Amino acid sequence: MFSFAAPWVFLLLPLPALVYFFALPHREKTTSIRIPFFRRVAQAAGVEPNSGSVIPVRSRLQTASVMLIWILLVLSLARPEQLGNPIVIEKSARDVVLALDISGSMDQRDFKSETGGPVQRLEAVKDVLKQFIAERDGDRMALIIFGTRAFIQAPFTEDLNSLNGFLDQTHVGMAGPNTALGDAIGLGIRTFESSEVDQRLMIVLSDGADTSSRMTPVNASAIAAEKNVVIYTIGVGDPNATGEDRVDLQALKDIADRTGGEYFFADDASALAQTYERIDQLNPRIVETQSYRPTNSLAHIPLAIALIVILISTTWFHFAQQRKGVVQ
C-alpha cells in the first residue's frame, strides 16, 4: 500500500504560480551609453521615452524542467512511503507469581504419579508445574520458593524456558526445613510492586503448616486483598499427619477466601493437573492487542529524479548558450 506521511505539503504546489502572477518583478540597474541626440531619435520614431527593462524569456523546455523539478521536490517533502502488511502483537495483561513450598516434608514419596507408582512430592509438583508454565505463553511469571525463609528464585519474566530452568534447580530443603507460608505471601506481594497490570494472580502450593513466618498467613492475605492480588492455594500432603508434616487446609482456605481466590487439594499428579486447569478457567488471560504497519520511505526517489532533471537541464542550457554564441 502506498501513502504520504505529510499530504498537506501538496498545498505548496501552486506557490510558484502565485509568486509569478502577484509578486513584484525584480529590477536591477545597469550601465548604459547616453547619446546627445536621443530625444530627437525618439521624436523621429514617434515614441515617448520611458524607463524599461529586459525580461529574459525561458524556452518551453526550461519552463517544463522547472515545473517538473518543483513537483518532484514537493512530492519528496510529502514523504511518500510504502506500507507493509499489518503486524499484530498480543501482550498479556496478567502477572502470575508461583510460590512453591520446598520444606523438608516435600521429600515424602507418597504422591501418586500418572503410572500409579509413588513419587517424591516435589518432583511430581515440578512435572505438573512445568506443563502449566509452558501453557502460559505471553504471561509474565515469577517463582518464589519457601521453606524456613522465602526467596525469589526467578523475578518476573516472559522467558518461560528460563523459568523452567530455575524450577529444575530447585531442591528440597534448600530454603530450610520449616514452612514460612506467611513470609512467602508477603514476598509475593512485594514482587507485584513492579507490576503495572491489573490482573495479579498468586498461586501458593504448600504441604505443611506455617511454623516460621514473621508475618502470619492471615495478615499477609489481608494485605494481598488490599493490593488486588488474588491468591489460589493448593494443598498437597497428608492433612492427618502430625506436627509440621500436617498440611493446614483451613489456613489455605482462609487465605484464598480473603483474596477472592479458591482453595484446592491434590493428592496425586492427575488431581494437581486438574487443579491448574481449573485455575486457568477461573482466571482467563487478558490480552492487550497492539498492531502496526512497517513503513518503507520512498522520499529519496523523487529527490533523486529532481537532481537528475537539474543536471540534464543545466547541461542542455549550457550547450545551448555556447551554440548560440557560436552562431552569432
**Full 3-state SS string of 259-270:** HCCCEEECCEHH
Contact, 261 vs 228, CB < 8 A? Answer: no
Query: Each residue of 222-262: pLDDT tens digit?
Result: 999 999 899 999 988 777 766 666 777 888 899 999 999 99
Paired strand residues for 234: 205, 264
Q: Which residue ranges does the chain devote to CATH 3.40.50.410?
A: 89-289
Q: Which residue type sits at 77?
A: L
DSSP labels for 102-116?
-SGGGG---EE-TTS
Residue 141 contacts residue 157 (beta carbons within 8 Å) = yes
- Summarize pLDDT for 141-174 with one digit per residue, the tens: 899 999 899 999 999 888 888 888 898 889 888 8
Domain spanning 89-289: CATH 3.30.2320.50? no
pLDDT surpassing 80 at residue 289: no
Per-residue pLDDT of 60-117, as tens digits, reads: 787 888 889 999 999 999 988 888 787 766 666 678 899 999 988 888 887 776 676 7
Give the whole-angstrom CA distance, residue 224 versus residue 229.
5
What are the tens digits of pLDDT across the range 184-230? 999 999 999 888 777 889 999 988 778 888 888 889 999 999 998 99
The sign of the torsion formed by the CA atoms of 81, 83, 84, 86 equals positive
Rounded CA-CA distance 91/140 in Å is 10
Query: Is pLDDT larger for residue 287 or for residue 210?
Result: 210
319 burial level (CB within 10 Å; 0-12, 13-18, 19+): exposed
Q: What is the percent of the chain with per-residue pLDDT over 90, rounded to a whole number?
A: 20
Q: Cβ neighbours of residue 173 under 8 Å, at least 6 residues apart?
A: 102, 103, 104, 107, 147
Higher-confidence position of 128 and 291: 128
Handedness of CA 232, 238, 240, 242 (dihedral sign): negative
Cell of 322: 555556447
Query: Buried (b) or exposed (e) across 281-290, using 16+ Cβ within 10 A?
Result: eebebeeeee
What is the model's pTM?
0.62
Long-range own/partner contacts, residues 250-253 (CB < 8 A, 24 or more apart)? 251/181, 251/209, 251/210, 251/217, 251/218, 252/204, 252/206
Strands 263-265 and 287-292: unpaired
The pLDDT-based confidence of 328 (bands split at 50, 70, 90) is: very low
Helix H or strand E segment including 28:
none
